[in-house]
Amino acid sequence: MFAAALRTKVVSRTFTSRAVDGFTGAVGNTPLIHLKKWSEKTGCNIVGKAEFQNPGGSVKDRAALGVVRDAEERGLLRPGGTVVEGTAGNTGIGLAHVCRAKGYRCVIFMPNTQSQEKIDLLRMLGAEVFPVPAVAYENPANYNHQARDFAAKLANAVWTDQFDNTANAKAHYLSTGPEIWEQTNGELDAFICATGTGGTLAGTGKYLKEKSKGKTQVWLADPPGSVLHSYIESGGKLKDRSGGSITEGIGQGRITHNLGTFVKELDGSLTIPDEKSVAMVYDLLDTEGIYIGASSALNVVAAVELAKLLGPGKTIATILCDGAYRYQSRLFSKAWLKAKGLEDAIPEHLKKYAVLN
């Protein structure tokens, strides 16, 4: 009975009764989408927070707005100032939008391994983009350190430091968590998502834990090449990072300050192979009509796996981080999928969607 009522509630979107205040006023209040096929298969109510419906197209709009507002409130950023960040893509896109809306200069350092769609979009939005070689965080040439050093040389400039600036997690504590709680009528058994900076998982998770008085479980989902799953499974031992994943913007080799605010409260973690994430990209397009990226698909796979662990009758929420538009030259390219050894991960009846050569 509850599941049917909830399905009706989460797919209907409410809007404010008047115009919002520009781009920044449109961030948040995204719908929660009931994922019918996988809910039926697991006997659970699996829902995804449609963060691709933020005005900048991703969950990172929340963090971008949060860190800029924090810098303004602390007097670190004044009119005409410069915002600098090291980002794998979506935070930079969110910051570029926010900076255009607020009149700031935006400078982005990013690994040169990111999709061309993201780089092009950043430049279209007026950001200055510096793609640099992808090296470990410990290396002084890491894109985050280059962003920090660039900002330090300028007056009226701020390095927003998305990984370790806990204003990131605070933005989700103040918005994403409350929205999910309200949209599920406070009947939420678990929340799970992957993490890069740790902001979404920590901020949302902290709110849900507090509001439910500990009843809502919060789990971390991890891609290959990340050390977070092993860290949680081992009780806090960090190992050297090895391997990699085709997902972008998630996975980590350390405990960021954002994640550090919540990591001890996590109930568990799951590791999700790329093959399952890619297959889910195609499955959700075919069965739900939802066009999402690989990190979003990983989150859905993780929610399904968690549903199987917790058993029928549970409500489990996750994050649909962004759409596939920023990755389509890869995820829907036959040649790219074959080069990555992922061509056979897609069921035969879904290969019709791989229309790019």
Domain boundaries, the chain: 23-53+167-353, 59-159
Confidence of residue 5 (pLDDT cuts 50, 70, 90): very low
The two domains 23-53+167-353 and 59-159 share their CATH topology (first three levels equal): yes
235 burial (CB, 10 Å; 0-12 / 13-18 / 19+) is exposed
* Average pLDDT of span 65-91: 95
- Alpha-carbon distance of 186 to 204, in angstroms, equals 14
* Average pLDDT of span 294-306: 98
CA dist 307 to 41, 42, 189, 208, Å? 10, 6, 10, 18
- Over the stretch 43-55, which tens digit does the pLDDT of each residue have? 999 999 999 999 9
Confidence of residue 113 (pLDDT cuts 50, 70, 90): confident
- Alpha-carbon distance of 132 to 125, in angstroms, equals 20
Picking from 15-29, 55-69, 259-273, 322-336, which range would have the lowest pLDDT averaged per residue? 15-29
Catalytic residue numbers?
60
Residue 263 pLDDT exceeds 90: yes
Strand, helix or coil at 10?
helix
For residue 241, what pLDDT is reported? 81
For residue 6, what pLDDT is reported? 43
For residue 14, what pLDDT is reported? 56
Task: Please give the CATH architecture assigned to the domain spanning 59-159.
Answer: 3-Layer(aba) Sandwich (3.40)
Residue 4 pLDDT exceeds 50: no
Q: Which of 292, 30, 64, 25 is nearest to 197 (CA)?
A: 64
Confidence of residue 121 (pLDDT cuts 50, 70, 90): confident
Q: For residues 203 and 176, is the Cβ–Cβ distance under 8 A?
A: yes
Residue 292 pLDDT exceeds 70: yes
For residue 26, what pLDDT is reported? 96
For residue 220, what pLDDT is reported? 98
For residue 239, what pLDDT is reported? 85
Residue 198 pLDDT exceeds 90: yes
- 248 is written with which tokens? 């972008």
CATH topology classification for 23-53+167-353: Rossmann fold (3.40.50)
Residue 207 pLDDT exceeds 50: yes
Picking from 23-37, 50-64, 238-252, 326-340, which range would have the lowest pLDDT averaged per residue? 238-252
Task: Supply the mean pLDDT for the chain.
Answer: 93
